[in-house]
Amino acid sequence: MDIRLAGIVPESIVDGPGYRLAVFVQGCPHGCAGCHNPETHDFAGGYASTTEAIIAKLGANPLVRGVTLTGGEPMMQAQALCEVAQAARDRGLNVWCYTGFTLEALMAENRPDRMRLLGLVDVLVDGPYIAHERSLDLLYCGSRNQRLIDMNRTREAGEIRLFEPDVW
Q: Would you say residue 98 has pLDDT above 70?
A: yes
Where residue 32 falls among pLDDT bands split at 50, 70, 90? confident
Q: Residues near 130 by Cβ (< 8 Å), separated by ≥ 6?
A: 32, 143, 144, 145
pTM of the model: 0.95
Rounded CA separation 80/1 (Å): 6
pLDDT of residue 83: 98
Where residue 31 falls among pLDDT bands split at 50, 70, 90? confident
Interhelix angle 78-90/112-120, rounded to 10 degrees, is: 20
3-state secondary structure of 120: helix
Contact criterion met (CB below 8 Å) for 94 and 123 = yes
The CATH homologous superfamily of the domain defined by 2-157? Aldolase class I (3.20.20.70)
- Residue range 38-97, pLDDT digits in tens: 899 999 999 999 999 999 999 889 999 999 999 999 999 999 999 999 999 999 999 999
3-state secondary structure of 113: helix
**Most confident range, picked from 3-12, 24-33, 135-144:** 3-12
3-state secondary structure of 125: strand
Q: Where are the domains of the chain?
A: 2-157
